[in-house]
């Protein structure tokens, strides 16, 4: 049973995930697996808690697993699958997301070379974006290292 506060948090988390392009069902599943006092939930527990159809629950879990945010385990003597958040992979997921964005820098450099010179303002904005992405690629490893050092103090 979820408290009202937990339900509110699931909704807030869901809205953020929706802004990132995920469906409402996937978003709420991710929220539930973060907020629930039980870190492993069965398919039926997820479906019933979120009031989703079997199809919506199945699709949401498959997408969440495909994007590497959820995994399932089985337990000896139990045929059920237990789903849980892969929050322990936050560093890897964050860096993978960044690497995807960093790929754009090389592509956008090519775009800059092909742009006509008459669109100066647009070209300048494009160049700024490339510069910033390259700057981030230098700073993120340093930032992560500083954070790790601060954690050990």
pLDDT in tens, 54-111: 999 999 999 999 999 999 999 999 999 999 999 998 888 888 888 888 888 889 999 9
Q: What is the pLDDT of residue 92?
A: 86
Strand order of the β-sheet with 41-42 is 41-42, 78-85, 70-75
Distance of alpha carbon 135 from alpha carbon 131, whole angstroms: 6
Full residue range of the structural domain in which residue 41 is found: 4-85
Rg for the chain (alpha carbons), in Å?
Answer: 21
Q: Share the mean pLDDT of the chain.
A: 93
Is the confidence at residue 8, as pLDDT, over 90? yes
Provide the 10 A C-beta neighbour count for residue 20.
8
Closest to 42 in 3D by CA, of 70, 3, 5:
70
Provide the 10 A C-beta neighbour count for residue 87.
13
* Choice among 4-8, 28-32, 47-51, 96-100 with the minimum mean pLDDT: 96-100
**Is the domain of 45 the same as that of 78?**
yes
For residue range 16-33, what is the model confidence (pLDDT) as tens digits? Answer: 999 999 999 999 999 999
Percent of the chain beyond pLDDT 90? 73
Q: How many domains does the chain have?
A: 2
**Is the domain of 11 the same as that of 78?**
yes
Q: Are 10 and 24 in contact (CB under 8 A)?
A: no
């Amino acid at each position: 049973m979820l408290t009202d506060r937990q339900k509110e948090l699931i909704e807030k988390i869901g809205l953020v995930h929706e802004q990132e392009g995920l469906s409402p069902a996937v978003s709420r599943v991710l929220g539930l697996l973060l907020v629930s006092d039980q870190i492993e939930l069965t398919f039926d527990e997820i479906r019933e808690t979120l009031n989703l159809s079997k199809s919506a629950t199945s699709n949401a879990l498959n997408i969440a697993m495909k994007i590497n945010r959820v995994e399932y385990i089985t337990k000896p003597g139990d045929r059920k699958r237990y789903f849980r958040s892969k929050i322990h992979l936050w560093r890897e997921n964050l860096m993978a997301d960044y690497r995807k964005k960093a790929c754009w820098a090389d592509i956008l450099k090519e775009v800059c070379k092909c742009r006509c010179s008459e669109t100066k303002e647009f070209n300048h904005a494009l160049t700024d974006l490339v510069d910033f992405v390259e700057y981030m690629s230098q700073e993120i490893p340093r930032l992560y290292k500083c954070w790790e050092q601060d954690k050990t103090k």
